[in-house]
Chains A and B, each alone.
Chain A
């Protein structure tokens, strides 16, 4: 039984995903569309009239950070699922 370290596995997974990314066009486009959505959403939000107080703005900012942290956490789970 080969005993790979989790770091080696993570690197191998990244290489495998990258090589698939170059070959599989549809998942790549979907992923880019999702990322584009992330760019468009704040712009749309900025153009929409909203009467937010200062504290509400801070809370929304904090919620955005929580969301980004969760996304990073989910990416980490995807690359090292055996730890979870």
Chain B
């Protein structure tokens, strides 16, 4: 288990390559921000901390005049010192909570600054309706305008390429240094992002966003937290914390008269200390930091989430719908074997396959050429300049070469090539179906090869399942997440790949419409579904899914429909996102358990000592020196635990692929039992150290 977890972490860490944000000065800024956030208009947004803040004001008043709310029996000087210390610790408690939030926000802001540096105003060449070019500022561009960009230019706004072909450096947003080819009409590579740079040739771009609403603008707003709204989980937790705070407020407010009645009078400062110790200050102080850090962790994986809600939904996902090509298998299928039919030798088949592929620039075509030349020493037996390449089309599902002597060589989908052979008066040998079935059984893609009306054989294109996926799907299964593979392949091929990759279910010969059908079917069963997509035809399914992750290389429609955009265009990252979402929920749950469990020790520290006169002194099981020492020790622990847990809140608790029940047991054991024991030890140690008697 440990090994697989470590392996997963290693994989996730190796995927992090966000454009490096400048993190220097984040902590200095956070310290400054912690004081700014003391403004009551800001503190009031955190109910638990607002109570502590009001308590600080009241204890400050009784520090100035210890007899403000009634004559205290103790020496006024000592009482002032105690009240002053309580005020200081309460003030630090609010400050530490502000610091936790400011650090989390600061990390997001640093990332936003690095993005903002890419979004400088540039001069754009706007195409006017009469065909002339007018130089305007990029901020004057509006949706629907057309601009011309040439090599070396910064792309002035988000848009779709309508003319031209060029390589674009997108490292400013993806951190990936390799340039990306952009061209119109290809669905996948026609969208460009403002702030990226064109490296070669020129493009005519149709602007798709108004100023301030571009992709980078939205990213900046999101990572800065400007558009951050509470997630359903945070709302539920806020209500729980508020209810607890209200209950303790009422209890503490009514304790004083009863304490006086049993002749164990307490001061207002001690009652406020009791209140602060009992309300869930730890989780109250760290709650927003945990949420912000969750968004930050997603951003570190080069994924931009439109809201914290989307990140959190990842943690609740029950079903992953994954495309086979590019997600489960490597995008490029490679030629692995030639299977001759019709009495031809494998060398003859290799020769014809080579001739059919010399003009094929796809990775598959190149791999056929390599296999024929390397394994069977096949040579091109005609003059290329007089031959003509036939491009693959979705309609014919074949590509090939028309030779100078008039012969036609084709390769492609078996039934398409069969049709071609019949149309040229040829006959279909029975062996072709056997070869087709054999390749399918192996999980490969069969490509038939023919010359005019004569069938030569089948090329076995092997689909390579990405390394390590089986283990990751196993982990997802243990967490209760079901994986469904969608593929355009036939059922036999699909079942072999599904078995090899270890997915739970598959849909063969799937059309884009099947995606939305499978998502609806799962949702109707009450499940949350996540999927990836990049094409315009994926947009409805991305919108329908609870978590839709669009590839940055995808179309604008896909990006707008999705609630996350992967800047690296790596569909496998969906699995990481589920892990991050679960980690966010686990972290929040773990710290809430810890915070509430802490109350038990604080109760045993404070109550028996301050009400010792009422005969409950025996409950002082920690043997704390005095009521003053007990209160100060509990409050110091209460304040210090917040900064102590900031690293855990920002990094998240260690993620383990366990079932919900196993996670619950583990969290109760570590953070529940630990949350009870830790403060007992810490409060006792503080009590021994501080010089109160």
Chain A interface residues toward B at CB < 8 A: 34, 37-38, 40-42, 44-45, 47-48, 50-52, 56, 59-60, 63, 66-67, 70-71, 73-75, 77-78, 81-82, 84
Contacts of A56 in B (CB 8 A): 67-71
Contacts of B154 in A (CB 8 A): none
Chain B interface residues toward A at CB < 8 A: 44-47, 50-51, 54, 58, 67-71, 229-230, 235, 238-239, 242-243, 245-247, 249-251, 253-254, 256-258, 260-261, 268
Would B69 and A78 count as touching, CB distance under 8 A?
no
Contacts of B70 in A (CB 8 A): 50, 52, 56, 60
Partner of A37, one of B44, B239, B254: B254
With CB as the reference atom, state the residue of chain B lying closest to A84: B45
Dominant secondary structure of chain B at its interface with chain A: helix
Contacts of A44 in B (CB 8 A): 257-258, 260-261
Given the known inter-chain contacts A52-B70, A63-B69, A66-B54, please indicate yes or no for A77 contacting B238, CB distance below 8 A: yes
Would B249 and A63 count as touching, CB distance under 8 A?
no
Cα A48 to Cα B257 in complex, Å, equals 8
Would B50 and A73 count as touching, CB distance under 8 A?
yes
Contacts of A48 in B (CB 8 A): 257, 260-261
Smallest CB separation, A18 vs chain B (Å): 16
Would A75 and B239 count as touching, CB distance under 8 A?
no
Smallest CB separation, B55 vs chain A (Å): 10
Smallest CB separation, B374 vs chain A (Å): 56
Cα A37 to Cα B54 in complex, Å, equals 23
Would A82 and B235 count as touching, CB distance under 8 A?
yes
Would B242 and A63 count as touching, CB distance under 8 A?
no
Contacts of A42 in B (CB 8 A): 257
Would A82 and B229 count as touching, CB distance under 8 A?
yes
Contacts of A84 in B (CB 8 A): 44-47, 230, 238
If A47-B261, A74-B246 are given as contacts, then 17 extra A-B residue pairs at C-beta distance below 8 Å, sorted by A number, are A37-B251, A37-B254, A40-B254, A41-B253, A41-B257, A45-B257, A45-B260, A48-B257, A48-B261, A50-B260, A56-B68, A60-B69, A71-B249, A73-B44, A73-B47, A74-B47, A77-B238
Would B238 and A81 count as touching, CB distance under 8 A?
yes
Cα A70 to Cα B48 in complex, Å, equals 11
Cα A82 to Cα B243 in complex, Å, equals 15
List, sorted by A's number, 29 A–B pairs whose CB atoms are closer than 8 Å: A34-B251, A37-B251, A38-B250, A38-B253, A42-B257, A45-B256, A45-B260, A48-B260, A48-B261, A56-B67, A56-B71, A67-B249, A70-B51, A70-B54, A70-B249, A71-B246, A71-B249, A73-B44, A74-B51, A77-B47, A77-B242, A78-B239, A81-B230, A81-B238, A81-B242, A82-B230, A84-B44, A84-B45, A84-B238
Smallest CB separation, A65 vs chain B (Å): 12
Would A66 and B257 count as touching, CB distance under 8 A?
no
Interface pairs A-B: 3 shortest CB-CB: A45-B257, A41-B254, A74-B246
Contacts of A59 in B (CB 8 A): 68-69
Would A34 and B247 count as touching, CB distance under 8 A?
yes
Contacts of B50 in A (CB 8 A): 73
Cα A48 to Cα B70 in complex, Å, equals 13
Given the known inter-chain contacts A60-B69, A60-B70, please indicate yes or no for A34 contacting B250, CB distance below 8 A: yes
Contacts of B51 in A (CB 8 A): 70, 74
Smallest CB separation, B276 vs chain A (Å): 13
Smallest CB separation, B51 vs chain A (Å): 6
Contacts of B235 in A (CB 8 A): 81-82
Smallest CB separation, B274 vs chain A (Å): 14
Partner of B254, one of A38, A47, A66: A38
Cα A75 to Cα B69 in complex, Å, equals 26
Contacts of B243 in A (CB 8 A): 78
Cα A2 to Cα B523 in complex, Å, equals 17
Partner of B71, one of A34, A47, A51, A73: A51
With CB as the reference atom, state the residue of chain A lying closest to B255: A41
Contacts of B257 in A (CB 8 A): 41-42, 44-45, 48
Contacts of A82 in B (CB 8 A): 229-230, 235
Smallest CB separation, A76 vs chain B (Å): 9
With CB as the reference atom, state the residue of chain A lying closest to B252: A67
Smallest CB separation, B25 vs chain A (Å): 30
Partner of A63, one of B67, B230, B238, B268: B268
Contacts of B229 in A (CB 8 A): 82
With CB as the reference atom, state the residue of chain B lying closest to A56: B70
Cα A74 to Cα B253 in complex, Å, equals 15
Cα A73 to Cα B70 in complex, Å, equals 27
With CB as the reference atom, state the residue of chain A lying closest to B244: A74
Given the known inter-chain contacts A48-B260, A60-B70, A81-B230, please indicate yes or no for A71 contacting B250, CB distance below 8 A: yes
Contacts of B254 in A (CB 8 A): 37-38, 40-41
Cα A66 to Cα B55 in complex, Å, equals 10
